[in-house]
Amino acid sequence: MRVTRSFVERPLHASDTVALPEDAAAHLVRVLRLQVGDACVLFNGDGFDYDARIVSAGKRDAQAEIVGTRRIDNESPLRIVLLQGIARGEKMDLILQKATELGVARILPVDSERSEVKLDAQRAAKRLAHWRQVVVSACEQSGRAVVPEVVAPQPLGAGAAQREGRGFLLDPVAGNTLAGLQGDGLRACTLAIGPEGGWSPRDREQLAAAGYEGLRLGPRVLRTETAGLAAIAALQAMAGDLG
């Protein structure tokens, strides 16, 4: 039987008794109907799973005792950073959720010339908190014990400057192909994916100046919610943990 995993944002140690966060307690006790003595798994993003059991369960709170610790080794040997043009609502949630499941290590949401979503400081802070919760939930479901970092929304130039490894800009007419990357010993890369309107010519100039190369994934133009996920999956199959 699958044991539910819950994220707890605090240090965890064997034999600790932990007061569960309200949302985790509600899910375990009210939704899943766990009772005192039932097993669950806690994690905090440090690379370990903490086996636990419920020791108290009230209407609004619950406590769990940690009874064991296990290192989880399911991170990809290929570090992929996703530089993502901010997309609208559910599209952005989908991108973050599936990119996390596919093993992305870091996410850089960026504002660009053709971005349809414009965030002031207050909205950006709320959206960032929501995005981070989407990523945490994807880790709970997928079994990841390391939570990918989601950086605060920033202009394209600032995000592009944080490139790790080789930078790739998807382009259906680029000379570089996935097949051409095989054998290059790729261990880190940054994928630049435009928003719904794509990258503008000025955006492309900024990316090129920051060292991003065109990469042809196929002959068709993909939507923003498809492009990054397809590229991450293809790179994982070629040089990561799917290969």
- The reported pLDDT for the residue numbered 242 is 67
pLDDT digits (tens, 9 = 90+) for 176-197: 888 888 767 889 999 999 999 8
pLDDT digits (tens, 9 = 90+) for 106-133: 999 999 988 888 888 888 899 999 999 9
Q: CATH 3.40.1280.10 in the chain, residues?
A: 79-239
- The reported pLDDT for the residue numbered 52 is 96
Percent of the chain with pLDDT over 70: 98
Mean of all residue pLDDT scores within the chain? 92
3-state secondary structure the chain: CCCCEEECCCCCCCCCEEECCHHHHHHHHHHCCCCCCCEEEEECCCCEEEEEEEEEECCCCEEEEEEEEEECCCCCCCEEEEEEECCCHHHHHHHHHHHHHCCCCEEEEEECCCCCCCCCHHHHHHHHHHHHHHHHHHHHHHCCCCCCEECCCEEHHHHHCCCCCEEEEECCCCCCEHHHHCCCCCCEEEEEECCCCCCCHHHHHHHHHCCEEEEECCCCCCCHHHHHHHHHHHHHHHHCCCC
- The reported pLDDT for the residue numbered 243 is 60
Whether residue 2 has pLDDT greater than 70 = no
* Mean pLDDT lowest among 81-85, 159-163, 195-199: 195-199
Superfamily name and number for 79-239: SPOUT methyltransferase, trefoil knot domain (3.40.1280.10)
Domain 5-71: which CATH number of 3.40.50.2000, 2.40.240.20, 1.10.3720.10, 3.20.20.70: 2.40.240.20
Percent of the chain with pLDDT over 90: 75
Whether residue 38 has pLDDT greater than 60 = yes
Q: CATH 2.40.240.20 in the chain, residues?
A: 5-71
Rounded to two decimals, what is the model's pTM?
A: 0.93
- The reported pLDDT for the residue numbered 141 is 94
